[in-house]
Amino acid sequence: MESRGCRGLLLLVLLLGCVRRGTGCGPETCPAAPEGFLNVHLIPHTHNDVGWLKTVDQYYYGGRNNIQHAGVQYILDSVVQQLLTDPRRRFIYVESAFFWRWWQMQKESVQRDVIQLIQEGRLEFINGGWSMNDEAATHYSPIIDQMTLGLQFLQSTFGECGRPRVAWHIDPFGHSREQALLFAQMGYDGFFFGRLDYQDKSNRMKTKQMEMIWRGSDDLAAPTADLFTGVLPNGYNPPDGFCWDQFCTDPPIMDDAQLEDNNVDYILQLFLKTVKIQASGYRSNHIAMTMGSDFQYENAIPWFKNMDKLIDLVNAQQINGSKVNVVYSTPSCYLTALNRANLSWPVKMDDFFPYADGAHMFWTGYFTSRAAFKRYERLSNNFLQVCNQLEALTGPAATHGPYGTSSSLTLRRAMGVAQHHDAVTGTAKQHVNDDYTLRLYKGWETCQVVISNALSSLTGTKESFTFCNLLNISVCPTTEAAKSFNVFVYNPLGRAVTWYIRLPVNGVAYTVRGPSGDAVTSEFTKDIRRDQGNAERELMFPAQVPPLGFSKFTVQKMATQERFFIRTKKRTSPTKMENKVRYNVIIAPSPDV
């Protein structure tokens, strides 16, 4: 079977010049990889889902361990302490949402130790987004936002040494060319992932195409759109027989010569056999082994203790002629070694979709699962863009105003979590999905304060603003009951739009006037839901809204007899009409971005 997008096309790539160096934390901190040896890069890591079987909070604190034993705070506590005991040891961490929370709770002495580990390259951030986002059900705008949120935290807290140089999507269920393009344009030097179609992987192992140059665009120049990409050999798990987490069942290295069940020879031979098989699918004399998995390293002692022994055991065989060298490493150190190898790589031109991990076992249901939450996530992204724009436009007036103190940060963090590959995909448990929804709802609440403050500053309006958040079920208590109200329609797009406003009402005749006071054509429909709210019909009218701006429409309910004389009735001046208005309704977001 010929792999799509490769077709024998080769590209000679020198990546060494792409690697950026931080002060004291660049390639110079990587372990030596001697020539003439097969160098095995052990990559200690943990994969921490930002919600899946448990909520984000439950995963962080270790709650509901009857569902899954996992506590992120203990993982980070344990790893930091074990790194400090031996300068050879290394570890990578990925999810900024968890690390940000842990960092806020640490004593100054622990923070100093962490900064030292980062500057020495022994604790390294990989990927660095707020979460590890999905690549199929997401939109590029919130992907960029959630990556920005995580990377800004790392950069502002740890400087250049905190800036990840390698993208790491080990668990999303298939991979898109557009995601690779985004990573390339964000300045990443390489990209590693774990899941691809089982037949594609089998073919790539046979033809040594597990590592490639992924060309993310047909339109952009090759260097801009190209990204070195590697497929990890075991998904993101350790090789069979070498899982030493406290919940694993693989035997530890029992190296006392007096033991009846001493297993040193067995471990050594199994490891060398594993290395040989893995190396057969890769082009260079370097291979990477992921040593960790979901929520592992809560007790980092058995992992590091056994990896220490493994490294010493295998490398000791070099005096007997062995050509295998094992080191603690990171994805960026592995990439640096590949840079120096000066090899040619196949080129990939298309997606890694759909993903199947066996015959008739396609992971495609999540493209449409939990459609209501997918819609809510999209609307939340629209609303966040409105919130961000008005916050930037009015500055402190938006965050500290007559309606309270707030910011867009709550919704930005909630949206960052919602991009996770078990969130927007709809693959989390029901109570976890409920938590995702609640986080977005709380974000909407805080942004409504920001928008109210901003519009108050821009318009001078001091009366209460109402957000019609339930228009999808034809419910808006203010428009259902009020005799007159203003409607503020905000457009976050960079172009003017005309949008048809639908407002639930109970009257039979209304006048609608636009920003200049001119009458706006309107009509009614009775095709609305009757099981929610009290509205008998909906008022509809077109709203023309300028780019990155808002338009105000004034709606006035007419008495029954007035509807028959509306054409001859003397026009009510906008000033007099507005004096009667007691309610201000905000329609945001506007059309989908």
Give, for 486, the enclosing helix (H) or strand (E): strand 484-491
Q: What is the DSSP letter of 17?
A: G
| CA-CA-CA-CA torsion sign (102, 106, 109, 112) | positive
What is the residue whose two structure tokens read 């990587």?
30
- 3-class secondary-structure state, position 292: coil
Spatial neighbors of 544 by CB under 8 A, at least 6 apart, are 496, 497, 498, 514, 551
Q: Residue 395's Cα: distance from chain center in Å?
A: 27
Active-site residue, 134 included: no
Instruction: Please say whether the beta carbons of 386 and 492 come within 8 A.
Output: yes
Q: Which residue in the list 171, 200, 245, 435 is annotated as catalytic?
A: 171
Instruction: Please say whether the beta carbons of 532 and 470 come within 8 A.
Output: yes
Spatial neighbors of 382 by CB under 8 A, at least 6 apart, are 492, 588, 589, 590, 592, 593
Bridge partners (DSSP) of residue 586 are: 467, 488
Q: How far apart are CA 32 and CA 91, in angstroms?
A: 17
Q: Which of 428, 438, 419 is nearest to 130 (CA)?
A: 419
Both tokens of residue 120? 């020495």
| CA-CA-CA-CA torsion sign (54, 57, 62, 66) | negative
Q: Residue 13's Cα: distance from chain center in Å?
A: 29
What is the residue whose two structure tokens read 């992924």?
214
**Strands laid side by side in the 226-231 sheet:** 10-12, 344-348, 211-215, 226-231, 190-193, 166-169
Say if strands 523-525 and 10-12 run parallel, antiparallel, or are unpaired. Answer: unpaired
Both tokens of residue 475? 């419910």
Question: How many CB atoms neighbour CB 80 within 10 A?
Answer: 18
Bridge partners (DSSP) of residue 470 are: 475
Burial of residue 182 (number of CB atoms within 10 Å: 0-12, 13-18, 19+): buried
Active site residues: 171
